[in-house]
Amino acid sequence: MFVPAAGEWLPPADCTLLLPAVSVGNVGQLAVDLIISTLVLPKVGYFYTDCLVPMVGNNPYATNEEHAKELCTNAEVYASSDKKLAVLQIRSPLIKKKSRAFCQALTSWMKTCAFSRVVLLSSSHAYQRDDRQLSGTPFRYLVTPALQTSVADTMKALEWKEMEKLSLYPGINDEEKKISIPGGGLTKHLFEDCCSESIHMAVVLKFCSEGDNIPDAFDLLAHVNRWLHLLDLPGEVGTTSWKIPSSWRLLFGSGLPSALF
């Protein structure tokens, strides 16, 4: 499934993997774009899979005309050995009925690479929150049992809020509860697979709505940076600290052609 760009690529020891869920507002994907662009992470390979909608385009992180001619595909891996960081960017949605196969392929790759921790950036529909989720922070997290012990104190110090479990049969039987992440794409499936495979994984998500989700991406990234310290800068890391990729100039299209008027 993973094809290295040149030769063989193996993550360094104690490497963290970041990846997005194709979820409401594409918040996770936008946040990953900012990480790759800001940290200038080189591409080390791509995923060859029939589970994602096929796509190809120009280099979204090009800084000059020559780099703009490079091609990108629907799932690519960027990494830095010095930063002990790998990032998987997913650029197209899952093909219907292929989500389970894709999650299984991802968890298999994660185990092969032996990442020290995996962090999934996601989002969920704000309008489907229950009463407990309407006030306070819009961020939630989930951790697999394999990661729980090592991050419990950190999450408590950060005052992060764990994703609530909802009643399976509201008003009838409130004892049976489940995790519900509406609009979260593969988030729930991948999390459950990582739980069963004993993978050290955390999900960090934000409740949001469709629209201009660039502010949501900045907010989610600033939230995650408090834990992972992707950018170690004095004080709070703001929106100006992250480098916007060149591809975002056409995020909402190229505008109306003047010939129409």
Provide the domain limits for residue 116: 15-231
How many domains does the structure of the chain reveal?
Answer: 1
Residue 238 has pLDDT above 60, yes or no: no
Is residue 259 situated within a structural domain?
Answer: no
Euclidean distance between CA atoms 223 and 215, whole angstroms: 12
Is residue 7 situated within a structural domain?
Answer: no
**Range with the lowest mean pLDDT among 31-45, 90-104, 141-155, 229-243?**
229-243
Angle at CA of residue 259, ends 253 and 261, nearest 5°: 100
Instruction: Please state the rounded mean pLDDT for residues 53-82.
Output: 89
Instruction: Please state the rounded mean pLDDT for residues 100-121.
Output: 95
Could you count the other beta carbons within 10 Å of the beta carbon of residue 92?
15
**Structure confidence at residue 256 as a pLDDT band (50, 70, 90):** low
* Percentage of the chain lying above the pLDDT 70 cut: 92
pLDDT in tens, 137-188: 999 999 999 999 999 999 999 999 999 988 766 666 666 778 899 999 999 9
Per the prediction, the chain carries an average pLDDT of 89
| pLDDT given for residue 8 in this prediction | 83
Is residue 2 situated within a structural domain?
Answer: no
Residue 113 has pLDDT above 90, yes or no: yes
| pLDDT given for residue 130 in this prediction | 86
Is residue 205 situated within a structural domain?
Answer: yes
Is residue 10 situated within a structural domain?
Answer: no
Domain of residue 220, CATH code? 3.40.50.10900
Is residue 243 situated within a structural domain?
Answer: no
**Structure confidence at residue 204 as a pLDDT band (50, 70, 90):** very high
Structure token digits, residue 220: 């989610």
Is residue 261 situated within a structural domain?
Answer: no
Is residue 45 situated within a structural domain?
Answer: yes
- 107 contacts: CB under 8 Å, gap ≥ 6: 190, 193, 194, 197, 199
